[in-house]
Amino acid sequence: MSKTIPAPPATAVAAIPTTIAALRKTFQSHKTRPVEWRKQQLRKLWWGLHDNEASIAAALWQDLHKSEHEALQSDGIWLKNAIIDALGDIDSWVKEVPVTADLLSKAGSPTIRKEPLGVVLIIGAYNYPFQLTIGPLLGAIAAGNCVVIKPSEISTASATVLTKIIQDSLDPDAFAVINGAIPETTTLLEQKFDKICYTGNGVVGRIVATAAAKHLTPTILELGGLNPVVITKNADIKIAARRICWGKALNAGQVCLSPDYVIVPSSKEAEFISTLQSTWQKFYPNGIKASPDYPRIVNDRHFQRIKSLIESSSGEIKIGGETDASEKFIGLTVVKVKDEHDALMKDEIFGPVLPYIVIDDLEEAIEFVNRVSDTPLALYTFTTDKKEADYILGHTRSGGATVNDTIWHGASHKLAFGGVGESGMGNYRDKFGFDAFSHHRTTVRQAGGWFEAILDARYPPYLPSKLSQYRMLLEKKPSFSRDGKARVSWFGWLLTLGGGDRKTVVVKYVATVLGLVYLKNQLDARRR
Ligand code: NAD
């Protein structure tokens, strides 16, 4: 048996302001600005993760009974790949970007400079303790910030390993880990940061946003929500059930993107249930409890919370329902509910329980989704009809969406990840993470003395002739009428004849004219 990893000691509350002040001093020394320094930090972090892969897997096993397979796929290897891709692209991310501007600004060659924000705070959650802290950290490093990392105090072994990786790999002048629970986080939030990235539940999200507002600190809030799955009558139900099964079993449902409830038409209900059942048997041939691939609930509080949700439901348990407090084990459980007032439909479950409801009419299903929660973190739909999928996407909102699968839009380290409304604000990962931790500094390098003649129109005295000159040179004419309709010039109308966008039509016209000129020349040559 491997050794138990102890919890990290809590950081002394009195040391927190001093730590932040030291990081600010580092930032002000411009140490984090050179891109080569940032790359070096990322390279060292890659090695830190690589060398500690076994400890990462051991910690996740201890905290969540997470298999090595899941641990490395979603934390270890996932993060290492994200670092390699960031290192490949960072030179293009940091480039000053020229901006197309109006006539007056053009002479100043306007650009956007990508500047670091300063000292930023990243607060992680327990369910993916490495990915949810190091994931945003990559963008913050690439953008040249100093960073304070606050791991979740719930996944204790992971917090210890995470602290070791950060402290051994990164420059201590620029990066610090603060461990602890509410008192430590509260003291942290009293400090001024230049951005806070918080992952966790919405109640604490509001505490974080309120504390941040006192310092005018912008926030990225990565929260949760009730993620719906809409199965339509045009779904391939075998595929749907298998993919929902995988999405729900992942980390025993302790995933912000986990499907929270399913809407299924009556014609598909029986096949949906039987395929879920047979899939689970295939996934866990020796029984789910005995399987080393199926995680446990993180602690007793969450175990009791999920268990009492199952007990309070007035729905009918169709599959599972097994629980064992001594192991914090809850088997995959499928419950048929009657309406959205069921205990299982009130809040995000964050556990391996899947309520479903039978609704035949698609409009009614969409209404139901929007009534339960109109800004979940994820929305899933299963249909083989592309138009139907577009219709569902066009009549709902969510942080992200996957058609014909679950979790997948949030699985790649390259795609922007974030919520909307109740499920949060802002996003990160890859270039989106770099941008999230950068300030886009608009910069104009004004033209010299020769430009004064043109600038003269802006200086007092404001003579009428100057305004006329300004109007003549810069005032634009609208291409729309008072009733809001677009006006199309006869030339524009001519260009759009025959369909296609303007560019295509222009190409068609030019090709036709050139063809006619060529034909005329050929005829002339023959006549001669
Ligand atoms: P948690 O208990 O690990 O808490 C998250 C963080 O909040 C911890 O670092 C903790 O120290 C801090 N915290 C707790 N109470 C606090 C307080 N009073 N003041 C200041 N900080 C405090 O995790 P959780 O919140 O239970 O996480 C589960 C939730 O997170 C779910 O709602 C889930 O959907 C969401 N989540 C979202 C994402 C995402 O990327 N959108 C990812 C994972 C989890």
Whether 506 is in a domain gets the answer: yes
The mean pLDDT of 467-473, rounded to a whole number, is 89
Q: Single out the catalytic residue among 146, 197, 245, 256.
A: 256
Cis amide linkage into residue 461, ω under 30° from 0: yes
Q: Does residue 376 form part of some domain?
A: yes
Active site residue 256: yes
140 and 277 within one domain: no
- Looking from the CA of residue 124, the nearest atom of ligand 1 is 9
Ligand 1 center to residue 200 CA distance, Å?
A: 2
Decide if 411 is inside a domain.
no
Model confidence band, residue 519 (pLDDT cutoffs 50, 70, 90): confident
Q: Indicate if 452 belongs to the active site.
A: no
User: Ligand 1 mean position to 201 CA, how many Å?
Assistant: 5
Whose CA is closest to atom 10 on ligand 1? 152
Residue 423 has pLDDT above 80, yes or no: yes
pLDDT band at residue 510, thresholds of 50, 70 and 90?
confident
Please indicate, yes or no, whether residues 296 and 391 belong to a single structural domain of this protein. yes
Q: What is the pLDDT of residues 214-229, one digit of tens each?
A: 999 999 999 999 999 9
List phi, psi (to 5°) of 233.
-70, -10
Mean pLDDT computed over 52-57: 97
- Tell the residue nearest (CA) to atom 39 of ligand 1: 222
Query: What CATH number should be reported for the domain holding residue 38?
Result: 3.40.605.10
Instruction: Give 385-397 pLDDT, tens digit per residue.
Output: 999 999 999 999 9
| The amino acid at 388 | E
Options 184, 222, 348, 422, the catalytic residue: 222
pLDDT band at 499 (very low <50, low <70, confident <90, very high): low
Residues 37, 38, 42, 45, Cα dihedral to 10°:
70
Atom of ligand 1 nearest to the CA of 222: 41
Number of domains forming the structure of the chain: 3
Residue 387 domain flag = yes
Residue 180: pLDDT over 50: yes
Same-domain check for residues 209 and 250: no
Supply the mean pLDDT for the chain.
95
| CATH number, domain containing residue 281 | 3.40.309.10
- Single-letter amino acid code for the residue at 357: I
Q: Is residue 89 part of a domain?
A: yes
In a domain, residue 475? The reply is: no
Do the domain assignments include residue 349?
yes
Q: At which residue do the structure tokens 């001669």 appear?
A: 528
105 or 392: which leads in pLDDT = 392
Contact 104, 427 (CB under 8 A): no
Same domain, yes or no: 142 and 277: no
Q: Supply φ then ψ for residue 329, to 5 degrees.
A: -100, 130
The answer to whether residues 126 and 33 belong to one domain is yes
Q: Are residues 280 and 359 in the same domain?
A: yes
Q: Are 183 and 293 within one domain?
A: no
Amino acid 1: pLDDT: 47
Kindly state the average pLDDT of the residues 22-39.
Answer: 98
Q: Which atom of ligand 1 is least distant from the CA of 125?
A: 3
Q: How far is the CA of 124 from the centre of ligand 1 (A)?
A: 7
126 CA: nearest ligand 1 atom? 3
302 within some domain: yes
491 pLDDT band (50/70/90 cuts)? low
127, 215: one domain: yes
Which range marks the domain in which residue 517 is found?
A: 490-527
Residues 254 and 274 in one domain: yes
> Do 352 and 302 fall within a single domain?
yes
Task: Report how far residue 192's alpha carbon sits from residue 119's, in angstroms, rounded to the nearest whole number.
Answer: 9
pLDDT surpassing 90 at residue 437? yes
Using an 8 Å Cβ cutoff, are 176 and 19 in contact?
yes
Token representation of residue 352: 């391996």
Using the mean position of ligand 1's atoms as its centre, give its distance from the Cα of residue 113 in Å.
33
Residues 246 and 265 in one domain: yes
Q: 417 CA distance to ligand 1 centroid (A)?
A: 16
For the cut 80, the answer to whether the pLDDT of residue 496 exceeds it is: no
Using a pLDDT cut of 70, give the percent of the chain over it.
97
- Higher local confidence (pLDDT), 12 or 3: 12
pLDDT band at 490 (very low <50, low <70, confident <90, very high): low
Same domain for 205 and 256, yes or no, is no
Mean pLDDT across the stretch 191-215?
Answer: 98
pTM, rounded to two decimals: 0.92
356 SS3 class:
strand
